[in-house]
A and B are shown apart, each in its own frame.
Chain A
Amino acid sequence: MTNSRVLEATGLKKSFGDIHAVRGVSFHISVGETYGLLGPNGAGKTTSISMVSGLLQRDGGEVLLDGQSMTTTSLGPKQDIGLVPQDLAIYPDLTARENLRFFGHLYSMPKAELVKRVDEVLEVVGLADRANDRASEYSGGMKRRLNIGIGLLHRPKLLVLDEPTVGVDPQSRNAILESVEHLSSEGMAVLYTTHYMEEAERLCTRVGIIDQGEIKAEGTRRELVELVGQQDRIRITATGVQESALDELRRLSGVHSVSPSDGSLELLVADAGAVLPEAMRVLGSQHAGVSSVSVEEPDLEAVFLHLTGKALRD
């Protein structure tokens, strides 16, 4: 268990004067896992990440990277991390290739490997054909992708992405999400912060919901949804539904309520994926004519609203 843990952060604390930016944040990430920190602006995501990456002195807590303690001066653990900062950190007057090479040197990558790896990364972030143009000539999305490329150049054990899709066109955004999925499928551990719940839902194995410097809840999407008692909603449009069919539906496990209205049914269930086939079987056997089915799963937005009483984005 412990040796598959890439990152173990416990009780992180940081204040800036009177502002308690982070007040006791703990989470851990294992190999191949993508962990999301989901929270609104000012929640303490960047501050937490800066402590994890050894950029910011913490007031309290511990960060273990692959078992080694991370501080602002520890070079060993920094070799294991690839940080992609929220604000672009690239040299605009250098080309993508030059930017990558420069950071490759700072990670002490051997020359031959670096040359090969730079080409690979340019491929991954989709900048291969613009590799020798200066970054200042890139679109916002391209700059973001270069920003990310620098972070994954040295194949870190943990890739830390701080809101990598903010202010990015939909196409670039999708490209970024796809490359994170790809890296994760290759076994890279990823720490991903965002205030977009769709991104957290799509990418993250586990999500920590952070607000006002604290993690309010943590788990898989389903765990989080269940934690706050949210249920999936199945809406079925059907004709000829008998009372006996409704009774049978109500008896199915995982079904909390069945409420018919003219020409349609609404089921509140724990897990739509498990209940839906059963429900269809019941309706079929009771000779009901189903014309349409829709499933509404409660999302992290709803969870966030429930936990904090406010919306993720204002």
Chain B
Amino acid sequence: MSKILSIARVNLLRFLRDRSTVFFVFVLPIGIVMLIGAQFGGDFSPQLGVASGGGTVADDIVARLDAEESIKLVEYESEDELLIAVERGRLSAGVSVPAGMDEQLAAGSPASVGFISRPDGVGPQLQVVVSEAVAGAAEQIMATRFAVGKGADPSAAATAAAAVAPTIPDLNVETIVAGESLFPASLGRFDIGASSQLVLFMFLTGLTGSAALIQSRQLGMTTRMAGTPTSIRTILAGEALGRFVIVLVQGLYIMLATILIFQVNWGNPLGAAATLIAFSAVGAGAAMLFGSVFRNDQQAGGVAIVAGIGLAALGGSMLPVELFSDSLVRIARFAPHYWANEAFAELVRRDATVVDILPQLGVMFGFAVILMAIASWRMRQVITRV
């Protein structure tokens, strides 16, 4: 076991020392996630349109939104105009406050503020801002009622507020999506890009890393290892573990970096970790296969990039599979990426847990096992033939 770890450790060490690693593994993926995020999300200071029917509560909500520094507020005459502006992409999102809201609330009936956003973009973030403003306004109503009904004693405020809570009419945000929605409105602007790029880069790093394996063979290292009291099984396990850790490092890095930089939501942590591990195994298997099949590292490197990008595209890392035709989706299932993208889609968009993505995890491990098996068989031949 310690020999396996030693071999894996050397793999990792060499990977981290490779000058191209810094760029291709640590800089490029984040750059691309950022690029895609920017494309999905438009500019960085979002414009929020407001169509207000007037009234105390409405003015309160608009005032609260106006106070928000991160957004630019644009007033519209009617909800229709607002809707068109959002649809055309002139606005990141819109808020429509219906007329007569004061009376409605006073009568004790629930009222809604409309939130209009495009299916993809910064809408979800803005929705949070709008919800907060509306909640603030609701508190205001509550405080007023409290003052009127129970006398203005701030010390009793908390208990009293709780007591009157059921009698306060609902003031909520109703989401309207303008245009056809690919993704639920709760998706952050980097979320889609991040998970598909994570999958793409993990696999690509695995494949291009196969060059290191081939070098190892060309350098005579594999043979030399076979000359030590180390079984071929151990050597292969060590190399495979090394590849696995490298792909995992790539995945973890993108995951952590996107969480820290872009606040990307990766869904259920356990599920995300399981997907990461399963797909690292796939990447390691692919690396071993390439490492055993190709004779020289340049050849492998070239094919690695084509295969890495091609499979990623097929598996839905370039365009979401939701846009694929049915027959293309059937083909896409042969790309391991498809399953990783599916798993992340479940986790991120549909709040799935590990249990929900067991099928995807299973398929990924299946891919890994098959790739590893072929690679081991092939590598064994290559090593013993010298």
Determine the chain A residues whose CB is within 8 A of the CB of B350 once the complex forms. none
Secondary structure of the A contact surface, majority rule: loop
Residues A55 and B386 in contact in the complex (CB < 8 Å), given A90-B219, A93-B14, A94-B14: yes
Is B3 touching A106 in the complex (CB atoms < 8 A)? yes
Interface residues of A in 74-124 (CB under 8 A from B): 75-76, 78-79, 81, 83, 85, 87-94, 98, 102-103, 105-108
Q: Which of A81, A89, A92 sits near B223, CB closer than 8 Å?
A: A89
Is A107 touching B384 in the complex (CB atoms < 8 A)? no
Of all chain A residues, the one with the shortest Cβ separation from B19 is: A93
Question: Binary interface profile of B, 6-26, with partner A (CB < 8 Å = 1, else 0)?
Answer: 110010011001100000000
- Contact stretch, chosen from B225-233, B239-247, B355-363: B225-233
Question: Is residue A57 contacting chain B, with contact meaning CB distance below 8 A?
Answer: yes
Determine the chain B residues whose CB is within 8 A of the CB of A26 once the complex forms. none
Of all chain B residues, the one with the shortest Cβ separation from A76 is: B229
Secondary structure of the B contact surface, majority rule: helix
Is B3 touching A55 in the complex (CB atoms < 8 A)? no
Is B221 touching A89 in the complex (CB atoms < 8 A)? yes
A107 to B232, CA, bound (A): 14
Question: Is residue B325 contacting chain A, with contact meaning CB distance below 8 A?
Answer: no
Q: Which of B14, B17, B229, B386 sits near A50, CB closer than 8 Å?
A: B386
Q: Which of B7, B219, B229 sits near A108, CB closer than 8 Å?
A: B229
Question: Is residue B184 contacting chain A, with contact meaning CB distance below 8 A?
Answer: no
Is B6 touching A102 in the complex (CB atoms < 8 A)? yes
Residues A78 and B3 in contact in the complex (CB < 8 Å), given A56-B386, A57-B384, A72-B384: no
Of all chain B residues, the one with the shortest Cβ separation from A77 is: B229
Determine the chain A residues whose CB is within 8 A of the CB of B232 once the complex forms. 73
Of all chain B residues, the one with the shortest Cβ separation from A85 is: B220
Question: Is residue A53 contacting chain B, with contact meaning CB distance below 8 A?
Answer: yes
Interface residues of B in 1-51 (CB under 8 A from A): 2-3, 6-7, 10, 13-14, 17-18
Question: Is residue B90 contacting chain A, with contact meaning CB distance below 8 A?
Answer: no
Is A105 touching B13 in the complex (CB atoms < 8 A)? no
Is A55 touching B230 in the complex (CB atoms < 8 A)? no
Residues A87 and B220 in contact in the complex (CB < 8 Å), given A78-B228, A106-B6: yes
Is B10 touching A88 in the complex (CB atoms < 8 A)? no
Question: Is residue A54 contacting chain B, with contact meaning CB distance below 8 A?
Answer: yes
Categorize the interface residue count of chain A. Answer: 20 to 34
Question: Is residue B224 contacting chain A, with contact meaning CB distance below 8 A?
Answer: yes
A93 to B221, CA, bound (A): 13
Is B6 touching A107 in the complex (CB atoms < 8 A)? no
A57 to B383, CA, bound (A): 11
A103 to B227, CA, bound (A): 10
Is B231 touching A75 in the complex (CB atoms < 8 A)? yes
Least distance between A186 CB and chain B CB atoms (Å): 22
Determine the chain A residues whose CB is within 8 A of the CB of B7 once the complex forms. 106
Is B229 touching A55 in the complex (CB atoms < 8 A)? no
Residues A105 and B221 in contact in the complex (CB < 8 Å), given A54-B227, A55-B226, A75-B231: no
Determine the chain B residues whose CB is within 8 A of the CB of A87 once the complex forms. 220
Is B229 touching A107 in the complex (CB atoms < 8 A)? yes
Interface residues of B in 56-109 (CB under 8 A from A): none
Q: List 24 A-B contacts (CB under 8 A).
A: A54-B227, A55-B223, A55-B226, A57-B384, A72-B384, A73-B232, A75-B229, A75-B230, A75-B231, A79-B229, A83-B224, A89-B220, A89-B221, A91-B10, A91-B219, A92-B219, A93-B18, A102-B10, A105-B2, A105-B3, A106-B228, A106-B229, A107-B228, A150-B224
CB within 8 Å of B: which residues of A?
50, 53-57, 72-73, 75-76, 78-79, 81, 83, 85, 87-94, 98, 102-103, 105-108, 134, 150
For the complex with contacts A55-B227, A105-B2, A106-B230, 11 further pairs of A-B residues with Cβ separation under 8 Å are A72-B226, A78-B227, A79-B229, A85-B220, A89-B220, A91-B221, A93-B13, A93-B14, A93-B17, A106-B229, A107-B228
